[in-house]
Amino acid sequence: LLIGVQKETFQEMLTCLNVAYQRQHRQGGRPRKLRMEDQLMMTLRHLRYYPTQRLLAFDFGVGVATVHATLTWVEDTLRS
């Protein structure tokens, strides 16, 4: 188990996120601050343990705004 999710499920979610990201950023753009694996891990950790966004920002070495944007995008993408 990985943050309450089986490895196979984690890989399926990761594939879904990568496809969605590629679809949204076909023409390039600014590089991501976090690898997709880290974005998914951050979101799963947030949903399982509900730490503050400030703590997640510290743990992942990004700003609070990046944490908020990441959580919003990953959750919305996986819901759709």
Q: Which domain holds residue 75?
A: 7-79
Assess if residue 1 is contained within a domain: no
Write down the pLDDT at residue 1: 53
Q: What is the mean pLDDT of residues 52-80?
A: 97
What is the pTM assigned to this prediction?
0.90
pLDDT attached to residue 48: 94
- 29 in any annotated domain: yes
- The band of 78, judged by pLDDT with boundaries at 50, 70 and 90, is very high
pLDDT at 32: 84
Question: Does a structural domain hold residue 32?
Answer: yes
* Sequence-ordered list of residues with C-beta below 8 angstroms from that of 70, at least 6 positions apart, any chain: 34, 39, 42, 43, 62
Tally of domains within the chain: 1
Question: Which pair of structure tokens corresponds to residue 36?
Answer: 């997709």
Residue 44 lies in a domain: yes
Which residue in 42, 35, 48 sits closest to 71, CA to CA?
A: 42
